[in-house]
Each structure stands twice: as structure tokens, then as C-alpha cells.
């Protein structure tokens, strides 16, 4: 379970204000909201890449902010993350990118690593792409390699930041279906930030909406679709008229 309590963060202005969030275990949680509302920042706080000014980040019963370097290192082994712009290592091939966390963090035989890389590539529909460099891939292909790398360690917690940004509708739906299937297969806890609400809401169990650094709604996907709060209703249904 992921629990955030009273999380605040300011740079030159407040970007997160008193965020309280609970993501139950084995839940696919969608985090939605307009741009610059603090969604990606929350993901970075869950991974320990950024510290809040105030508040608590509790993951699996452990206080992330109280962890030392070694504990944080161990903690991050249990997290997979897809970054907004994929963050593939551009001096490594596709296979090396996907195998990287396995080679560095787990003492696995090379045959097992190769088998897992091939299985991941086949799962994201990119068999035969092992030797390609990220620079030679399209946006959708890079995204799929990013998904393969984020899921290759079978981490119990996976965070996806805009997994379908810049993809065509068909590829986008395929990615969401793949992520849902992965989450079910591994019973992982997933937090997914996406602006593609039409597709995101087809796969989420629960949804939270951020607005101006505050979490203004948390509920099931059905509750989000039928929310009484006019801001949530407008955002979920994509209406031009409304308070936003």
C-alpha cells in the first residue's frame, strides 16, 4: 500500500499542498488533472527522487523519507518506473536498456536475462528490436521499450508517467491494455499518470484528481465518471464549459 500524508512542496510557489492519498495494494490507480498540477511530482516522491517539504510518504509500511541511502537503494529495487519522456539510455541498445536493471540489481545468469528480455520485447510487440538504439525508434516504440524496462524486474510497485503520451489511439489503447494485463498478472500496485482519460479510465480501479497542487477527488473509476464536483465532472468528460 502507498500512503501519502499531508505532503507539501514549494519551489517559488506551492506545487503540492496537503496531499493525502492512499493507493491500496494490487490496485491500478489513475492520477489525473490538468498540466502542472503536481501529478509527476507525486510519482517522484513515491520513488524518493524528491523529498516533500512536509508530510509523510509511507510505502509498504516503510517511511520513505526516513530511509538512508542503503535502504533507499533496496527500496527502489522494488519499484519500476516509466518516465514521461521514457528516459531510455541512449548509448545502450534496446536489449541492454531492458536488461540493465536485471544485470545491475539481480544476480541472474545471462541466459535468464536474455530470456526475460526476449519475453518482454515480445510482450510489447517489438521482437527483433534487441540490437536497435533508442535514437532509431519511433515515439511509440520508445514508449514500449520504456514499459518493458519498467516491468522487467516484476517489481511489486510500478509507476507510469504518461505511458501513452504522443501515441496514436490504437497504439495508446494497446499500451493501456498491456499495462492492465501486466498489473493483473503480477498483482502489482500501479500508479498511472495520464492525460488520455478516455483510455485510462477503461483500465483503472481507482482514480484521483489533482488540481493546483491539491488532491480534490479520490474514488472508484465509476465514481469519477459520475462525480458531483463540477471540476471533476468537467475534466473527466472533457467539457469546455465549466469551472476549470
Q: Do the beta carbons of residue 181 and residue 123 sit within 8 Å?
A: no
Q: Which three cell numbers stand for residue 94?
A: 534496446
Q: Which is nearer to other proteins, 16 or 81 (CB)?
A: 81
* Residue 224 CB, nearest approach to other proteins (Å): 28
Q: Which is nearer to other proteins, 54 or 77 (CB)?
A: 77
| DSSP label at residue 229 | S
Q: Which is nearer to other proteins, 102 or 227 (CB)?
A: 102
Q: Which is nearer to other proteins, 153 or 234 (CB)?
A: 153
CA 234 to chain CA centroid, Å, is: 24
Q: Residue 22's closest CA among 205, 225, 182?
A: 205
Q: Residue 155's closest CA among 105, 204, 110?
A: 105
Q: Which listed residue (104, 135, 228, 240) binds other proteins by CB under 8 A?
A: 104
Q: Read out DSSP for 155-193?
A: -SEEEEESTTTT--HHHHHHHHHHHHHHHHHHT-EEEEE
32 binds other proteins (CB under 8 A): no
Q: Which listed residue (10, 25, 36, 49) binds other proteins by CB under 8 A?
A: 49
Question: What CA–CA distances, in Å, run from 201 to 30, 38, 175, 232, 237?
Answer: 8, 20, 13, 13, 11
For the segment 81-100, give every residue that binds other proteins (CB under 8 A). 81, 83-85, 87-91, 100
Q: Which three cell numbers stand for residue 234?
A: 468537467
Q: Read out DSSP for 37-94?
A: SSHHHHHHHHHTSS--SEEEEEETTEEGGG--HHHHHHHHHTEEEEBTTB---TTS-H
* Residue 152 CB, nearest approach to other proteins (Å): 10
Number of residues binding to other proteins, judged by CB under 8 A: 23
For the segment 56-75, give every residue that binds other proteins (CB under 8 A). 72-75
54 binds other proteins (CB under 8 A): no
Q: Which three cell numbers stand for residue 227?
A: 462525480
76 binds other proteins (CB under 8 A): yes
Q: Which three cell numbers stand for residue 161?
A: 508517467
118 binds other proteins (CB under 8 A): no
* Residue 165 CB, nearest approach to other proteins (Å): 13
8 binds other proteins (CB under 8 A): no
Looking at 44-52, 57-65, 190-198, 207-215, which segment touches other proteins (CB under 8 A)? 44-52
- List contacts with other proteins (CB under 8 A): 44, 47, 49, 72-77, 79, 81, 83-85, 87-91, 100-101, 104-105
Amino acid at each position: 500500500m502507498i500512503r501519502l500524508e499531508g505532503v507539501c512542496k514549494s519551489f517559488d510557489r506551492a506545487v503540492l499542498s496537503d496531499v493525502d492519498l492512499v493507493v491500496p495494494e494490487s490496485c491500478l490507480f489513475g492520477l489525473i488533472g490538468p498540466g502542472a498540477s503536481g501529478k509527476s511530482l507525486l510519482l517522484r516522491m513515491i520513488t524518493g527522487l524528491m523529498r516533500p517539504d512536509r508530510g509523510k510518504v509511507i510505502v509498504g509500511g516503510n517511511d520513505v523519507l526516513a530511509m538512508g541511502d542503503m535502504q533507499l537503494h533496496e527500496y527502489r529495487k522494488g519499484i519500476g518506473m516509466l518516465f514521461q519522456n521514457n528516459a531510455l539510455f541512449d548509448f545502450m541498445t534496446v536489449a541492454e536498456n531492458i536488461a540493465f536493471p536485471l544485470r545491475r540489481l539481480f544476480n541472474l545468469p545471462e541466459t535468464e536475462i536474455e530470456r526475460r528480455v526476449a519475453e518482454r520485447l515480445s510482450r510489447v510487440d517489438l521482437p527483433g528490436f534487441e540490437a536497435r538504439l533508442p535514437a532509431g525508434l519511433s515515439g511509440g516504440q520508445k514508449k514500449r521499450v520504456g514499459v518493458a524496462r519498467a516491468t522487467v524486474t516484476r517489481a511489486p510497485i510500478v509507476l507510469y508517467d504518461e505511458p501513452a503520451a504522443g501515441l496514436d489511439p490504437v497504439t495508446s489503447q494497446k499500451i493501456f491494455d498491456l499495462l492492465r494485463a501486466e498489473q493483473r498478472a503480477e498483482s502489482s500496485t500501479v500508479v498511472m499518470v495520464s492525460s488520455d482519460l478516455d483510455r485510462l479510465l477503461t483500465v483503472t480501479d481507482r482514480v484521483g484528481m489533482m488540481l493546483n497542487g491539491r488532491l480534490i477527488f479520490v474514488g472508484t473509476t465509476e465514481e469519477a465518471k459520475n462525480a458531483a464536483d463540477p471540476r471533476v465532472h468537467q475534466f473527466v468528460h472533457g467539457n469546455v464549459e465549466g469551472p476549470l
